[in-house]
Amino acid sequence: MWEQSDDTGLEPNHLQHLFKENYHSLVFFAYKIIASQSDAEDIVQDAFVKFWNNRQNVADHFLAVKSYLYTTVRNDCLNVLKHRAVIRKQETSLSLDEADEQTALQYLLESETLVFLYKAIETLPPVCKKIAEMSHFHGMKNDEIADKLGISVNSVKTQKQRALELLKKRLPSDLMLFFL
């Protein structure tokens, strides 16, 4: 699947593609575990560096790479949680029991669903896209979006409605429920 320029593994442009396709879902996955956006972004970036440095030992099949990245992110998130527990000096068991595995699986499914949603939002007209991102990914309210973009609140509402109508056409109904 991956072209190799020599015997060192993936070409950098393949890594860029892999990063672009998986970054947002991995950050969402990490965020759901550790509840820190900046830590989640750092962990995901580190996971890609680890993958790149270890690419010789990872099968070049897309699902193997994806599994490697999710496993690395999950393990690094758990390490962050353990470190936080040590700092707070709380005795907390951080082992993954069955409930934690179910939660991790739920987060994995949510993050993969987010990929479909993100791709659909990418196809929206520029203003709709920007407003949808600000509203749903950054949690901004209509008046905050209006102030930031220098438009009226009614324009924000209109563009949000337009975005929803376009997304309804592009996404299955169960993904629309996730978005809403």
Q: Answer yes or no: is 171 within a domain.
A: no
Question: What pLDDT is recorded for position 170?
Answer: 78
Question: What pLDDT is recorded for position 92?
Answer: 44
Q: Are 119 and 125 in contact (CB under 8 A)?
A: no
Question: What pLDDT is recorded for position 55?
Answer: 85
Q: Answer yes or no: is 104 within a domain.
A: no
CA distance 155 to 134: 14
pTM score: 0.52
Structural domain containing residue 30: 1-96
What is the total count of domains within the chain?
1
Which residue ranges of the chain lie beneath pLDDT 70?
Answer: 1-12, 60-62, 89-99, 173-180
CA distance 32 to 160: 26
Question: What pLDDT is recorded for position 31?
Answer: 94
Question: What pLDDT is recorded for position 63?
Answer: 74
Question: What pLDDT is recorded for position 48?
Answer: 93
| Residues forming a β-bridge with 4 | 10
The CATH number of the domain holding residue 27 is 1.10.1740
- 3-state class of 123 per DSSP? coil
Q: Answer yes or no: is 155 within a domain.
A: no
Question: What pLDDT is recorded for position 25?
Answer: 93
Q: Answer yes or no: is 10 within a domain.
A: yes
Question: What pLDDT is recorded for position 38?
Answer: 94
Q: Answer yes or no: is 53 within a domain.
A: yes
Residue 19 DSSP class:
H
Q: Answer yes or no: is 146 within a domain.
A: no
Identify the burial level of 163 via C-beta atoms within 10 angstroms of its C-beta, where 0-12 means exposed, 13-18 middle and 19 or more buried.
buried
Q: Answer yes or no: is 7 within a domain.
A: yes
Q: Answer yes or no: is 92 within a domain.
A: yes
Question: What pLDDT is recorded for position 8?
Answer: 43
| 2-39 confidence digits (pLDDT tens) | 444 444 455 667 888 889 999 999 999 999 999 999 99
